[in-house]
């Protein structure tokens, strides 16, 4: 963790105490029933809301239930099925490519390592962290999505703008036992109160310790 002299250490501890109490049941909001479904859903969720992804995936999984099904699919067909999602053409290519690699190299299974996951098309560290945590029960880092990035900056936990550098800062400040849930606490607060455009600072349980609110 950060050094005792680093004011961010105390700030982080207070943020965690308050958010963990306010959102004790916060967890992943994507719908999935298998490791592969989770991987697909997280790929689709890039720059797209989880709510939108959850509307797309039931029919998508019914038509393409396995990596092999995606491997044999025409990317244009997949794109048609996910066209209400952002960047659907790119994501269709990713899903077909992922299906091919999982079928050919992993016997249809989802890799259980960071290196294996980040080698897949369209899969970066954030996606890999989600899959490791929720599909393999392995925590190697902290998931930094747009909510986590925004709140970490507003709360003075980091001055970085690159997600991987933000993750490194948070991993230094947050106890390892909280690496998984801290993402969900921050996301829950980001959705409910500390929104991107119109944060409800007057209703915020962190207002008295938030540098952004005092600016």
Q: Point out the residues that are catalytic.
A: 126, 145
CA contacts within 13 A on the Cβ side of 188: 19
Whether 96 and 78 have beta carbons less than 8 Å apart is answered as: yes
Distance, CA of 146 to CA of 183 (rounded, Å): 11
Residues 6+ apart with CB under 8 A from 10: none
């Amino acid at each position: 963790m950060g050094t005792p002299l680093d004011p961010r250490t105390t700030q982080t501890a207070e943020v965690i105490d308050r958010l963990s109490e306010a959102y004790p049941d916060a967890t992943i909001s994507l719908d999935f029933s298998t490791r592969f479904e989770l991987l697909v859903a997280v790929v689709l969720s890039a720059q797209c809301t989880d709510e939108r992804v959850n509307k797309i995936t039931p029919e998508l999984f019914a038509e393409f239930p396995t990596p092999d099904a995606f491997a044999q699919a025409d990317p244009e067909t997949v794109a048609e099925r996910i066209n209400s999602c952002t960047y659907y053409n790119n994501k269709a290519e990713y899903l077909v490519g992922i299906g091919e690699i999982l079928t050919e190299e992993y016997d249809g299974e989802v890799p259980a390592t960071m290196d294996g996951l980040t080698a897949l098309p369209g899969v970066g560290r954030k996606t890999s962290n989600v899959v490791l945590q929720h599909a393999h029960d392995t925590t190697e880092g902290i998931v930094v999505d747009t909510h986590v990035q925004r709140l970490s900056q507003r709360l003075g936990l980091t001055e970085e703008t690159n997600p991987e550098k933000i993750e490194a800062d948070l991993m230094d400040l947050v106890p390892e036992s909280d690496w998984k849930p801290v993402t969900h606490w921050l996301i829950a607060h980001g959705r409910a109160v500390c929104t991107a455009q119109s944060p409800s600072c007057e209703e915020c349980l962190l207002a008295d310790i938030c540098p952004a609110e005092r600016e």
